[in-house]
Chain A
Amino acid sequence: MGSFLSQLSQSWGNIGSALVITVEGTIGGAILALVLAFVLGLMALSRFVVVRGVARTIIEFFRGTSLYVQLFWLYFALPVLGFKISSALLCAIIAFGLNFGAYGAEVVRGAINAVPRAQWEGAIALNMSPFQRMRLVILPQAWVAMIPPFNNLLIQLLKSTPLMSLVTIADLTFEAQQLRSATGQTAWSYLFLLVVYFILAYILTLLMNALESVAKARLGRGTGLRGIFRMRPADPTGKSLGAGLAGAGTEIEPVEAANLTSKTMGAGGPGGGGV
């Protein structure tokens, strides 16, 4: 333990830059995933069967194949086809973005579908254009319902970042392994790594809770700062817990949002609710 601590203090600089890389991978992947989630999610709601078909195919493909395989394919196989992605980190960000973007698309689609029919009709009655309807009426409401499942996906993405160490990126996991070979303190090295990940997950959850509070306050159903410090569980299927259960999430959320969430997520899940 003593040697572990002294080594730890010596490697502090390396660990710092490894942390930056892990965070970069997470944030980069999340931004790409968010963009793809909206693009694919809105496409999946299109009136045109071709657009829907394209979106569904992409969504099902990236949800149906393992993230691990996708990353390895991008890193090892794609160069054979003549495309070499300039850095391994970019490779990882693209893999994260595509995989979690596909899951996120189902969240977007489900949340928009869960906005009550009456809201659409109200917007039509006000003679809004389809774009205005979506931007001014539907999305602000759907957005609130998207945040909890997005948080699940974000934590899931964070937990996938150790994959980066398998494609030569010097992320936290890579650094922990360095620490391990330097000290021979295997258990401590990995425990340290797990604790760092736990803290990162907690910080992300706090941020997402704050975001949710803001979004809710805009809709006039603010819960204030009260819900911010709760720990929201990570969920690899990209659904809220209990998938579509009436009672699901009631412990986590006030009733209104929970209903919305569970409805949203009931339609989601690997593969989503079909065309």
Chain B
Amino acid sequence: MPVQRITLTAVCIAIVAVLVSSVPVPIAATGGFTHPGAIAEIFIALAFGPVVGGIAAAVGAAIADLALGYGSFAPLTFLAHGCLGVLSGYIGWKKGITGMVIGWIVGGLALVAVYFMGEATVYGFGVAGAAAELPINLFQVGLGFFGLLLYQLVKRAYPQIDQLGGSPTYQER
């Protein structure tokens, strides 16, 4: 694996972990807080594809869960956010705006579905318990739309983004 890809993946994991763990977003309806992690995850998946996107989302979100004290949910978070990263990257990477939107929606729904199924069956919360988490997960995935926007804006401000992660080629002058 090229060194550039190693450092890019590491940096992407760190960005996701920071946005999930340290940036609170207050919610008007409940008075509670959520995080803008999905924005970083969708952005990374659309910019660098399913491998970097999947690993950054899965590992970054799981690290943040552990740092915040939600140790029991870290394995499920790893799986759910990993699905979001892989699917969004697989569907939306290097595609037009329609492909990106589909990638965001499919990836987001996969995250919600994995959390729901995992909590209802493996953790034993039942459908009622798992359903209690649905609105907050859907809101987080909704925030992921800003990831799509972020990709367009970052690309405009920093066009080199498309070359990141590959081996650089040097030309003698």
Partners in one complex: no
A residues with CB within 8 A of B:
none
